[in-house]
Structure 1
Amino acid sequence: MSGCVICNKPLEVEIEHNSDPENENGASSSSKALAAAPETVPDDVQLTCGCHFHWDCLLSAYEITSCPNCAKDIATTGDGVQKVLCTLNNEGGLQEDLDILPLLTEESYLKAYPEDRKARAFLEFCREGDYKAVVDMLLDDEVDETEADAEGDVEMSCTDHPEKELGIDRMLRYQDPIGDMQSGLHAAVQAQSREVAWLLLLLASNLPLLDFPPQVFQEAEAMGIMRGLTEDKIDIRSLRDENGKTAEDIAREVGGVWVGWTDNSRLAI
């Protein structure tokens, strides 16, 4: 095994370093950094067929369940679940029998539908309950997909054709076609993130404004966010996953922080 079967380069990658700070004498150490040999770490994905790849090279060439080099079937089935196992050696160390099929499936989907990349990133932040990242993504679209009022608030009213354009409306109501058709609200409920759930309800549901705690409005106002027109759009609470479950159904199963919510039907239409 001499290198990656795609690019034929060694199975390693250089590590980028930030600019070196000045040393105690006030002199820059950049000259020492330039003189030193670049630091490298392993970057080796070995499939069950025996072929070795750089991770990026595999992503750019794979066929999901067959090796892009030798064409052998690399899929296995265990416990009724299909997997693509590999031995991965990278900066994090050596991992054997690692299932990379979910990552390969997602990359395959994004190859076919690159316009969904932003919506999938948004959904992932909802899954992580990362409120700040969710807000940042919404505000990043403000130039193209929002209207500002006289005070500079961002009104979340977007494209009239969410099926054709990737805008805020589509991000808010996006359902994962390779992840059980879950919406951001499903994901926020499973992550037990009240903050993300309140934000999605504010921007993508018809839940009466009187049902929102004052703190939700205070935080939204501080970020310059306000609800746009929602009556002519799909209420995010009505979206169902591939098992026919709404976010309310998931909340009843999860329990915990959602007990009061399900009692008050905040997640139901």
Structure 2
Amino acid sequence: MAACVACQQPLVLELEPDEDEDVEMGTSSSGKAPAAAPQTVPDDLHLNCGCHFHWQCLLEAYQVTECPNCGKNIATISSNGTQQVFCDLHNEGGLQKKLDILPLLTEESYLKAYPEDRKCRAFLEFCREGDVRAIISMLQDDGEDEDGEHDDEDMEEGQLQGRTIGPDELLRYQDPIGDMQSGLHAAVQAGSREVAWLLLLLASNLDLMQFPAEVFQEAETLGIMRGDVEGKTDIRSLKDADGKSAEDLAKELGGVWAGWEGTGRLTL
């Protein structure tokens, strides 16, 4: 079996078993649950230059157009002139041939330089998924556990270099490697009116008379309501890298956004 050219270890990854699995296996004569053996899964990223890496090893040594091991050019140009980095990726999900990993590498490279943006990008992902409760959880999370201590992971993601990522910044974040889309753009793209109403409630000065009664009922259930938005950027004013507002995007998509045009719900 080929080894990772970076660490010289076999191209596999050991996954530790869940604690629940140990419980299901029962107990030994000593009264203790026997430790389940780690599960081994493939972790082989085969670049077009011929070099094999673990995924994490490639991320740690990543260079945009060259293999960090042999120095060969690993980028190709697509028919529309954009760069691509193809590989064969074999992991626990199976084998994927000719997979373009450049978007993933670009994102990880950016987050390595700006780790504080991980929380913001997770927030945008929840907007794309239409996960209202996860969005609310992130906005209400102050990074402390039940004992009042800050969680290490939250410190890494949201409070680095003395800067805390607060709710206002999350709500108005624009993705620098995702065409400068905001959470409202992401919600529109995903066709999630529930998330759009939530973001408008919390980060715009849209007249409250425009909101359906069920929006307020849901907000009350979740324990949220609009705070002071005076002097803060209205999320409807944010435009993506192409100069499009969320309403411009809604006009293009149609569908669930029919009837929103011209109401001022998605634009100032």
TM bucket (normalised to shorter chain) is 0.7 to 0.9
* Superimposed CA distance per residue, residues 29-74 of structure 1 (whole angstroms, 9 cap, x where no aligned partner): 932x54xx53211100011111111111111111122111122211
Which residue, 33, 36, 39 being the options, matches 1:30? 33
CA contact (8 A) 1:141 1:168 kept: no
Query: Which moves more between the two structures, 216-225 or 193-202?
Result: 216-225
* Superimposed CA distance per residue, residues 84-124 of structure 1 (whole angstroms, 9 cap, x where no aligned partner): 10110111111110000000000111111111111011111
Match of 1:196 in 2: 195
% identical equivalent positions: 66
CA contact (8 A) 1:49 1:67 kept: yes
1:15 Cα offset (Å): 2.2
Distance 2:25 2:66 in 1: 52
Distance 1:201 1:141 in 2: 22
SS of match in other structure, 1:70: coil
Distance 1:94 1:22 in 2: 31
1:235 Cα offset (Å): 0.6
Match of 1:63 in 2: 63
The 1:95–1:142 alpha-carbon spacing in structure 2 relative to 1, beyond 3 Å, is closer
Match of 2:53 in 1: 53
Match of 1:159 in 2: none
Distance 1:54 1:126 in 2: 31
Match of 1:240 in 2: 239
The 1:230–1:30 alpha-carbon spacing in structure 2 relative to 1, beyond 3 Å, is same
Structure 2 unmatched ranges of 5 or more = 145-162
Distance 1:22 1:85 in 2: 42
Match of 1:92 in 2: 93
The 1:130–1:166 alpha-carbon spacing in structure 2 relative to 1, beyond 3 Å, is same
Match of 2:8 in 1: 8
Distance 2:254 2:2 in 1: 53
Match of 1:153 in 2: none
The 1:265–1:117 alpha-carbon spacing in structure 2 relative to 1, beyond 3 Å, is same
Match of 2:147 in 1: none
1:2 Cα offset (Å): 3.4
Structure 1 unmatched ranges of 5 or more = 144-163
| Amino acid corresponding to residue 60 of structure 1 in structure 2 | E
CA contact (8 A) 2:59 2:105 kept: yes
Distance 1:165 1:142 in 2: 10
For residues 108-187 of structure 1, what are the structure 2 equivalents within 5 Å?
108-141=109-142, 165-187=164-186
Match of 1:21 in 2: 23
Distance 1:51 1:25 in 2: 45
Distance 1:21 1:47 in 2: 41
For residues 196-235 of structure 1, what are the structure 2 equivalents within 5 Å?
196-235=195-234
The 1:2–1:22 alpha-carbon spacing in structure 2 relative to 1, beyond 3 Å, is closer
Match of 2:152 in 1: none
Match of 1:258 in 2: 257
1:165 Cα offset (Å): 4.6
Runs of 4+ in structure 1 displaced over 3 angstroms?
21-30
Aligned-residue Cα RMSD (Å) equals 2.1
Distance 1:141 1:191 in 2: 28
1:44 aligns with 2:44: yes
CA contact (8 A) 1:61 1:68 kept: yes
SS of match in other structure, 1:253: helix
1:142 Cα offset (Å): 7.8
What is the TM-score when the length of structure 1 is the normalising length? 0.85
SS of match in other structure, 1:182: coil
Distance 1:205 1:25 in 2: 56
